[in-house]
Structure 1
Amino acid sequence: MNTTVRFAPSPTGHIHIGNARTALFNWLFALKADGRFILRFDDTDVERSRREFAQQIERDLEWLGIHPHAVVRQSDRVPVYEAAAERLKAAGLVYPCYETSEELERRRRIRLSRRLPPVYGREALKLGGEEKAALEAEGRRPHWRFLLPNFRDNPFETERTEVHWDDIVRGPQTVDLASMSDPVLIREDGTFLYTLPSVADDIEMGVTHIIRGDDHVTNTGAQIALFNALGAKAPSFGHHNLLTSVTGEGLSKRTGALSISSLREAGIEPMAVASLAVLIGTSGPVVACRNMEELAAHFSPSSSSKSAAKFDPAELRGLSRNLIQETPFEAVEDRLAAMGIVGEKAERFWLAVRGNLETVGEAVDWWRIVTEGIQHPVDLSEEDRDFVRQAMNHLPPEPWDDQTWTAWTSVLKERTGRKGKALFKPLRVALTGLESGPELANLLPLLGREETLARRP
């Protein structure tokens, strides 16, 4: 059986690093098994779902290096869900309920006051035909619940009913169906909640493995029961630990916290995001992987801890810097060209500055310094100005190479007696306008003798 996974986001906002973690776990799992990855938009919530969010999610996944084998929208598949619902109704496995949210909340409080579990008591199963007709005459429309198989003969006498599975991430898991309320599958307006469309699609699309956040562990028990009710074998499940902010708060698409699009706009390298999203909160080290194949070699679902992992955006910059320092010119040539960094100097320039960058976008600042001149007024003491002016008189003749800097400064040490910071800092400030940056041995050949002389203070 071919491995098939799916990532099923709701297009109600921008996906964040936590959502990306789920997508990447599934992508890498499929990659290692030479399987299929389906992007399936859970867009049955018509009021909140937006096509622009779906399009942004596709762009975000593409940027991360995830390339779905198929893209599906649940809003296009309503007849499939209606057919599944009719099968369940015909089998007596779903039933109509007429309670309002206020009535349900009042019952929940009563059960809690009696020290009973706050689960739905299946009161709707007691309604006769006339009672249902009367409620509908009042204008009420039913929502439909799935009757969990947690009883023998009498649905009002539930008993412990364990659902077991060997979780891909967490190992052996058990959920007691008697501890749960019958899940609502269909809203009052006839639209579907997540559960039924998800299970119906998983069956029809041949999904073999479902990997998602551990906030779904309890739901899995009910969903396995629903797979069985529809005559299908449930896929294998895996539930990874969730990511939180540094302060321990949950991430949300609605707030845009740590959204993938914002990280991209900040110039963070996609593989830095992917590496941290996958490897944080696992038993292994967090390393900057250069591509998905390398990340897949580090990926092991079972290495995830069972506690939430705190995601620190500051770690991204370190990983991004590590990746950039090893990135060859060919890998960024197009991105540099888009910033105007072109010509015969472009490759040598990239190799000179990449070790000092946290984002590729920062390269344009150094390109301006090299090609246009100092961008800020030079701050030198009069003594240092005199030293730099004298130094310009001892510039070696061209052609220049990566040994020119050493030759020049060796002469200056002998003639001025300066060394160390007193020698190098004034020259750096005079040539770049800054007190730190790429090795001047690499920048000097890019400037050339004429441009270097032009920067005499």
Structure 2
Amino acid sequence: MAMTVRVRFAPSPTGELHVGNVRTALYNWLFARQRGGSFILRIEDTDVERSRREYEEHILEDLRWLGLDWDEGPDVGGDFGPYRQSERLTLYREYAERLLDAGWAYRCFCTEEELERERERARAENRPYRYGGRCRRLPDSEARERAEAGEPHVLRFRVRSGSIVWEDVVRGPVRWDAEVIGDFVILKSDGWPVYNFAVVVDDLLMRITHVIRGDGHLPNTPRQLLLYEALGATPPVFAHLSTILGADGTKLSKRHGATALREFREQGYVPEALFNFLALLGWAPPQEVGEILSREQLLQLFALENVSKAPAIFDQQKLKWMNRTYLKAKPLDELVTAVLPYLQRAGRLPTPVDTATREWLRRVVDAVLTHLEHLSQIVEETRIIFEYELSTALAYPEVQEVVEDPGALDVLARLGQELADVPEVTTETFRAAAARVREQTGRKGRALFHPIRVALTGRPSGPELDKLVPIYEIGSTLPLPQPIPSVRERLRTFLTWAERVRAESPSR
């Protein structure tokens, strides 16, 4: 009978989800969904001081935003719950008692001061620390009496001698010498379990078949295998994923920029792009299919056994390129909905927006879309639309050149005259007026349109004028928090300002 695959993602709610953990969740999800198995979400909240329910809520929200769903978990329940470790303390104590009764665990009464002296000796002798084993030799009767008398103690696991060996899906055969481990704590003096013990009990009772996790857990695996052995249970298959590094080859951290899924979400990366990008951190599809892969393609192509054990590089530029690719492929209406909150928070748009404003925003997004790497950039990239501030325009040398060029100012004055009697400034009427100015002045190409661009935007570059003209015209009629000047208003304002600048210039 074929084994039913059961995998788990087990984050600690002590902060926001790091992209390394998200990659782990994604690989577990892909593996389970490929095989018709179950993906379980378990919350490991035994760090009482740092665990917060709000972080747990963020974890669930962010995973769902990415497009991951789970078959069992703290919010959806399941046959093997509870799915928070803090709600499973009775189970851990029960299994700890089993190990104690079987002689695999013993009570340790060493104080923190005594243990620290052992650590100091190990440092002084330049050797790795392992528990010296003093309480290992206590007679059971004495240990029981001391415990019953209320003396504080922990439970330690009695590590056997020899090697611990396992076949890792990613790393191949791994061998660990038990001698370097030392007897480790499984239950603290307050009755709470230590990570390695709680994980084994949970994975055993939840019937986890495959443990797919980061290679930072490699040193934990021999301890966990020893616990499975002591409990007489078959361990799951292990697959340890490589570390994710920054572009400089060091472990990915805050100094490389955003590292939490929520940060990328808030910046306006779309879930499809992050899903695709994270899937490629340590695994590569066949070269002929390319790197832009849908969820369906990833489910078809992903192979855990082909995950590389070499560190994966988190390439921010590649992520931006991938996100830009997905943004360009999205329907315009979907993009409008996505950028609205950013512009509203920046005070650019009212809340709510009416139908006319939303329709106008379609033009705005279309004009700047090719400049967006992520959605939050909409605020900066639309300054050319929502702001018309000539007081800072002279920071651009090209603007200064237009101000000092009588021919350029003549173009602007004539364009203003040509548009004065036009019933409505549209792309077509604007082009026709510019054509008449070309005939009158003999200026064409950049000599004609560069001064016009500078006058209308206050900048030397930006989106196409054919797109900006109707944006300015329609925008000037909308009830926006900050009014947008029309094309004619911009021409008048620029000419007046340029005349003042020229008059105040020391060279005149």
Q: Which TM-score bucket, shorter chain as reference? A: 0.7 to 0.9
In the other structure, the counterpart of 1:186 is 187
In 2, Cα distance between equivalents of 1:296 and 1:256: 29
Q: Is the 8 A contact 1:11 1:43 kept in 2?
A: yes
Corresponding residue to 2:50 among 48, 72, 96: 48
Change (3 A) 1:385 1:256: closer
Q: Does 1:329 align with 2:332?
A: yes
Q: Does 1:11 align with 2:13?
A: yes
- Percent identity between matched residues is 38
SS at the partner of 1:437?
coil
In 2, Cα distance between equivalents of 1:448 and 1:288: 41
Query: Between Structure 1 and Structure 2, whose CA radius of gyration is higher?
Result: 2
Unaligned runs of 5+ in 2: 74-82, 477-485, 495-508
Corresponding residue to 1:441 among 453, 463, 466: 466
In 2, Cα distance between equivalents of 1:334 and 1:287: 30
Q: How does 1:118-137 map to 2 (within 5 A)?
A: 118-129=129-140, 131-132=142-143
Q: Is the 8 A contact 1:275 1:289 kept in 2?
A: yes
Q: Does 1:345 align with 2:360?
A: yes
RMSD: 3.7
In the other structure, the counterpart of 2:78 is none
After superposition, give the CA deviation of every residue in 1:300-356 in whole Å (9 maximum; x if it has no partner): 444544343443545543433333222222433432444446433333433332112
CA shift, 1:419, in A, is 4.4
Q: How does 1:301-380 map to 2 (within 5 A)?
A: 301-311=304-314, 313=316, 315-338=318-341, 339=344, 340=349, 342-364=357-379, 370=385, 374-377=388-391, 379=394, 380=399
Change (3 A) 1:441 1:95: same
CA shift, 1:81, in A, is 1.8
SS at the partner of 1:52?
helix
Q: Does 1:89 align with 2:124?
A: no
CA shift, 1:260, in A, is 2.4
Which shows bigger deviation, 28-37 or 204-213? 28-37
Q: Is the 8 A contact 1:288 1:323 kept in 2?
A: no
CA shift, 1:180, in A, is 2.0
SS at the partner of 1:96?
strand
After superposition, give the CA deviation of every residue in 1:31-77 in whole Å (9 maximum; x if it has no partner): 33343322211112222211122122222222322233332211112
In 2, Cα distance between equivalents of 1:331 and 1:105: 59
With normalisation by structure 2, the TM-score equals 0.74
In the other structure, the counterpart of 2:25 is 23
In 1, Cα distance between equivalents of 2:430 and 2:280: 42
Bigger relative CO (Cα 8 Å, ≥ 6 apart) = 1
In the other structure, the counterpart of 2:216 is 215
Change (3 A) 1:269 1:412: farther
SS at the partner of 2:330?
coil
Q: Is the 8 A contact 2:164 2:225 kept in 1?
A: no
SS at the partner of 1:192?
coil
Equivalent residue letter for 1:207: I
In 2, Cα distance between equivalents of 1:107 and 1:33: 49
In 2, Cα distance between equivalents of 1:292 and 1:416: 57
* Greater per-residue helix proportion: 2
SS at the partner of 2:461?
coil
After superposition, give the CA deviation of every residue in 1:135-159 in whole Å (9 maximum; x if it has no partner): 65997422112223x3xxxxxxx3x
In 1, Cα distance between equivalents of 2:202 and 2:372: 45
In the other structure, the counterpart of 2:489 is 454
Equivalent residue letter for 1:96: R
Q: Is the 8 A contact 1:404 1:444 kept in 2?
A: no
Equivalent residue letter for 1:266: Q
Q: Does 1:78 align with 2:89?
A: yes
Q: Is the 8 A contact 1:213 1:242 kept in 2?
A: yes
SS at the partner of 2:229?
helix
Equivalent residue letter for 1:49: S
Unaligned runs of 5+ in 1: 151-157
Q: Is the 8 A contact 1:65 1:292 kept in 2?
A: no
In 2, Cα distance between equivalents of 1:48 and 1:351: 45
In 2, Cα distance between equivalents of 1:411 and 1:297: 60
In the other structure, the counterpart of 1:174 is 175
In the other structure, the counterpart of 2:166 is 164
Change (3 A) 1:145 1:413: farther
Q: Does 1:425 align with 2:439?
A: no
Change (3 A) 1:115 1:249: closer
